[in-house]
Structure 1
Amino acid sequence: MSTYEVIPMMYNSREQINAIILLEQQCKQLDSIHLKADLDHISKKDGDHALLCYRDGNLVGLLSWYPSDGVIGNINAIVHPHERRQGVFRRLLKFATAEMKIAGIRQLSYRVPNNLPSGLGTVQSLEAVHDRSEYAMQLVNEAFSAVHSSDLTLSVAEDQDFEFMITCSAQAFGNSEEWTRNYFTETDEPSRVTYIAWKNELPVGLVRINVINETTAFIHNFCILPVYQGKRLGRTVLGALVELLMKQHYTVIRLSVVTDNDRALNLYRSVGFEVQSEYQYFSGSL
C-alpha cells in the first residue's frame, strides 16, 4: 500500500529542485494551468519555508509559506492533478501550521489561481474568507518608457528614513503606524532594498525591491504620500526605478496589483507592465 511522506525542502538540493520543476510541468500539461511553486523564493538561502510530499518516491505536492508581518502566514501550494482529493494538501498544511505556530503566526492567507476550481473549493472547505484578487504583472522591456524629471531622485533608504517610511506607507495604504512599523521591522532583510523618492530635496514616496536572484526583482510597497498624489509623480518614480533596475542588469521585473485598483493598473501598464496571471487570496485562522 502506497504511503505519503512529508519532508522539509533543502534550498540547495538539485534533486528536489528538479522534482519541483517536473511537478510544475505535469500540472501545466494536465491542467492547462501554469501553477507556480515560486521556485525562486524557496530555492534561495533564507527564502520561503517549503514542505514536500512524496508518494512512492515521486513528488506529488508542495506547500510553501512566508510571514509577511510576523502574524500572517502566506501560503502557496501545488498538488499533482492525479493526487488531489487524497489529503495531500491537508497533510502538508498540518506540518506547515505546526511550524507557523512556533513562529508566532496566528492567521493564514491562501493564494489560489483564479482558474483552478479545485483550489478554490479547497480553501472554501477550510472556511477561509475571500480577501482580494490580484494580477501578477511583468515588465515587457520593449514597451518600457521612462519619464525623466530633473527635480526627482531615488536613493537607498538609510536609518534616518525609517520614520518617514512608516508615515508614508501608513498614510498611503491606510494601515496603522503600529502595524506598519512591525511590518518594516519583520521584513528588514538583505534581499529587500527600500528606495526613497525625493522631489526638490523633500521625501515624497517610497518603493521596495525584493531581490529574488541575480536577474529577477519584485517591486512592492510602492506608494506616494497622499499630499503629493495626483501630481503625476507615480509614473515618474516608477519609471526611474525600472530604469535603475535595468541598469543593474535585472532582466525580469515583476509586481502585483489588486484587480479593482484601476488607477494603479493603468499606471503600471503605462510604464510597460503586462498582466501574466490572476490570483484569488483567502484569509483563514491558523
Structure 2
Amino acid sequence: MSTNHIRTVITEGVNATDLPRLQALIAICQQHDQIHFPVNVAETPGTALLYYETDTLLGFAYLLGEHNPELLGAVHPHYRRQGIGRSLLQTAQTWCRTRQQESLLVVGLDTIPAGTAFAKAVGGELSFSEYHMVLSNTDSQSSPFLNEEGLSLRLATHNEASEISHLSSTAFGDDPAEIEPWITREILRSNRRFFFIELHGTPIGTISVVGEGEGSIDITTFGILPAYRQRGYGRKVLQHTVAMLQAEGWSQIALDVETDNTNALFLYQSCGFHQQQAYHYFKILL
C-alpha cells in the first residue's frame, strides 16, 4: 500500500461526508467476518478515528465513554496486516492521554480470533467479557400485571438524570462520578429512554432502552437495588419491557450481560434471549 495521501481524521461523531463511507466499510466487514458490529455510528455519540488513503476509507476506530473509554474498530479485509490497526490504536492512545485517561478498553469479538490476538499483541489484558443476547421468540408476549404487586415503570425526564445515576451506580456498584456524566448526556438523546422501576411509588431500580436503527432496540442499564432482589421483580419488569417494545413494533430486541453474571444470564435465557456473540474487553494502560 502506498504511503502517499495517508491521513487520519479525528471527529466527535461522524459528519455527513464520512458517515456513508463508514457505514459502507462496516457493511463490508460485517459480511466478510459474519459479525454484527455492536455500535450504530449514526446514533451513538463517540469519537471517530478514520484512516484514509486519498478518499478511500480503509479502517476506523470508534471511542466510546469518557472514563477508561472503549475502542471498537475494523480494517477493510483487503488491507489487513498492513499496520493500519496499530496506527489507529496509537492515535487512540494519544487522544486518550491528552484527556488524562488512565486506560483504554479494546473490544474484540469471539468470532474473530485475529482481533483478540491483536488486542493481546499490543499489550491488552483481558478485563471482562460480555454476551450479546437477542430475543429468540418474536411472537408478542403478554405483559405481567406489574401493579398487582405495586410495581410500575415511570419514564424519567432529563431533570432526573442525577436520580437515575444514583440508582444505577448503587445497583451496579459503579462510581457515581463516572456514571452520572454519561447518563446526563444519554438521557437527552431522542432514541434513548430511562425508566424508574418503582415499588409502591418508591424507586428500586432502573431500566433503559435505546433504539439502534432498522427496527432494533437494546435494553440497557437494567438493575434492581440489592435489598429488593430475589423477589421476582426483575423478571416481571423485563417481561413487561419486552411486551412494551413489541407493542411499539420493534423487530429485534437485544441486551448485553457479563459472561460471569450467572443469575442475570439465567434470567435472560429463561425469558427467551439467546447468545448471538461474545465481546472481550482488553485493558491497555496508558
**TM-score after normalising by structure 2:** 0.83
Q: Counterpart in 1 of 2:282?
A: 282
How far did residue 130 of structure 1 move? 0.8
Whole-Å Cα distance in 2 between the matches of residues 271 and 76 of structure 1? 29
Kept in 2, the 8 Å contact 1:71–1:105? The answer is yes
Aligned-partner residue type, residue 66 of structure 1: L
Residue by residue over 1:233-254, the C-alpha shift from the partner in whole angstroms, topping out at 9 and shown as x without a partner, is 0011111112222233322222
Q: Counterpart in 2 of 1:272?
A: 272
Whole-Å Cα distance in 1 between the matches of residues 22 and 178 of structure 2? 36
Identity of aligned residues (%): 27
Kept in 1, the 8 Å contact 2:25–2:76? The answer is no
Change (3 A) 1:273 1:241: same
Q: Counterpart in 1 of 2:8?
A: 6
Q: Counterpart in 1 of 2:27?
A: 21
Whole-Å Cα distance in 1 between the matches of residues 84 and 120 of structure 2? 16
Q: Counterpart in 2 of 1:53?
A: 51
Q: Are residue 171 (structure 1) and residue 177 (structure 2) matched? A: no
Equivalent position SS for 1:227: helix
Whole-Å Cα distance in 1 between the matches of residues 36 and 57 of structure 2? 15
Whole-Å Cα distance in 2 between the matches of residues 236 and 161 of structure 1? 24
Whole-Å Cα distance in 1 between the matches of residues 174 and 29 of structure 2? 38
Q: Counterpart in 1 of 2:203?
A: 203
Q: Counterpart in 2 of 1:89?
A: 85
Whole-Å Cα distance in 1 between the matches of residues 283 and 49 of structure 2? 21
Q: Counterpart in 1 of 2:155?
A: 156
Q: How does 1:216-255 map to 2 (within 5 A)?
A: 216-255=216-255
Q: Counterpart in 1 of 2:104?
A: 108
How far did residue 81 of structure 1 move? 4.1
Change (3 A) 1:125 1:71: same
Aligned-partner residue type, residue 153 of structure 2: L
How far did residue 37 of structure 1 move? 6.7
Q: Counterpart in 1 of 2:118?
A: 122
How far did residue 152 of structure 1 move? 1.8
Equivalent position SS for 1:124: helix
Whole-Å Cα distance in 2 between the matches of residues 7 and 259 of structure 1? 35
Kept in 2, the 8 Å contact 1:50–1:65? The answer is yes
Deviates more, 1:126-135 or 1:4-13: 4-13
**TM-score after normalising by structure 1:** 0.83
Change (3 A) 1:270 1:8: same
Equivalent position SS for 1:71: coil
The number of residue pairs the alignment matches comes to 276
How far did residue 161 of structure 1 move? 4.6
Kept in 1, the 8 Å contact 2:143–2:240? The answer is yes
Whole-Å Cα distance in 1 between the matches of residues 103 and 228 of structure 2? 34
CA RMSD of aligned residues (A): 2.7
Residue by residue over 1:72-118, the C-alpha shift from the partner in whole angstroms, topping out at 9 and shown as x without a partner, is 22111112344333211111123333444455544211110123232
Whole-Å Cα distance in 1 between the matches of residues 58 and 96 of structure 2? 22
Aligned match for 1:133, one of 124, 129, 133: 129
Deviates more, 1:111-120 or 1:170-179: 170-179
Whole-Å Cα distance in 1 between the matches of residues 127 and 265 of structure 2? 18
Kept in 2, the 8 Å contact 1:145–1:271? The answer is no
Aligned-partner residue type, residue 204 of structure 1: I
Deviates more, 1:222-231 or 1:166-175: 166-175
Kept in 2, the 8 Å contact 1:172–1:224? The answer is yes
Equivalent position SS for 1:72: coil
Equivalent position SS for 1:142: coil
How far did residue 194 of structure 1 move? 0.9
Aligned-partner residue type, residue 20 of structure 1: I
Kept in 1, the 8 Å contact 2:67–2:178? The answer is no
Q: List alignment gaps of at least 5 residues for structure 2.
A: none
How far did residue 125 of structure 1 move? 2.1
